[in-house]
């Protein structure tokens, strides 16, 4: 009888242990699954945040890059302007001094204007300061124009004063053709035609 009781008790104890053991195992699996899920949530959320941060960073850096490029371009433009301004100042002084080199250049500017104008009855608009000199050279200029146009040219000085620092405006007397060869026009043309060269000289030695 005692043996039977002991055996029954053993069987039941084994069954109870098994129930508790299974429950613990199941509980452990649940916790592990939860931890794995939590880790997955953390990973995905972290990746999402990093991706958002990357996009935002790219946008912000692009904005800064554009701003930096704009400032750099503005600086380069401003400095090129400064070179033009200084050149204009020096040209103005040269013209005002009316030295031989300027007078020689003025003649060349008038001749070039004549080459670009197809008429033969011409008038030149010049600064009052240059009138005396050009008056002296008028016949010589006519002669040269006649020579390269291969046709008789008459040239007179316009009564209209040149409103520029120097150079000349040449037009046909019927005013149908006009060629602006003032120093201002030459500077503007130089800027337009030679901006690349101007920049090359101005920024020679710069790494940017």
Helix (H) or strand (E) holding 126: strand 121-126
Token pair recorded at residue 60: 């912000």
For other proteins, give the closer residue by CB, 27 or 140: 27
Could you give the CA distance from residue 33 to residue 37 in angstroms, rounded to a whole number?
A: 6
Residue 110 near residue 124 (C-beta atoms within 8 A): yes
**Interaction of residue 69 with other proteins, rule CB under 8 A:** yes
- Residue 118 lies near other proteins (rule: CB under 8 A): no
Angle separating helix axes 100-115 and 2-97, nearest 10 degrees: 100
The CA-based diameter of the chain, rounded to the nearest angstrom, is 155
* 23 in contact with other proteins (CB under 8 A): yes
Q: Which of residues 89-108 bind other proteins (CB under 8 A)?
A: 90-91, 94, 105, 108
Task: Tell me whether residue 21 or residue 121 sits nearer to other proteins (CB atom).
Answer: 21
What tokens appear for 104 in the block?
Answer: 């020689």
Binding residue (CB under 8 A) for other proteins from 98, 112, 120, 131: 112
In the set 123, 126, 169, 186, which binds other proteins (CB under 8 A)?
186
Q: Is 195 in the site for other proteins (CB under 8 A)?
A: no
Single out the residue of 96, 99, 121, 197 in contact with other proteins (rule: CB under 8 A).
197
Q: Taken in order 133, 136, 138, 141, is the CA torsion positive or negative?
A: negative
Residue 34 interacting with other proteins (CB under 8 A): yes
Mask 142-181, x = binds other proteins (CB under 8 A)?
Answer: ----------------------------------------
Mapped onto helix, strand or coil, the DSSP state of residue 167 is: strand
């Amino acid at each position: 009888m005692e043996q039977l009781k002991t055996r029954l008790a053993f069987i039941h104890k084994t069954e109870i242990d098994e129930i508790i053991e299974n429950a613990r195992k199941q509980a452990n699996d649940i916790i592990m699954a939860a931890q794995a899920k939590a880790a997955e949530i953390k990973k995905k959320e972290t990746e999402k945040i990093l991706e958002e941060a990357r996009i935002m960073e790219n946008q912000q850096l692009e904005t800064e890059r554009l701003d930096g490029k704009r400032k750099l371009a503005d600086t380069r433009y401003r400095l090129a302007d400064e070179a033009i301004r200084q050149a204009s100042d020096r040209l103005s002084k040269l013209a005002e001094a009316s030295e031989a080199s300027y007078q020689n250049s003025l003649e060349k500017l008038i001749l070039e204007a004549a080459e670009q104008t197809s008429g033969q009855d011409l008038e030149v608009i010049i600064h009052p300061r240059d009138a005396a000199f050009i008056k002296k050279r008028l016949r010589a200029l006519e002669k040269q124009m006649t020579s390269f146009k291969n046709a008789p040219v008459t040239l007179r000085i316009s009564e209209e004063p040149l409103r520029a620092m120097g150079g000349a405006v040449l037009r046909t007397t019927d005013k149908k053709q006009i060629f602006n060869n003032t120093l201002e026009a030459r500077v503007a043309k130089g800027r337009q035609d030679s901006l690349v060269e101007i920049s090359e000289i101005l920024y020679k030695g710069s790494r940017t």
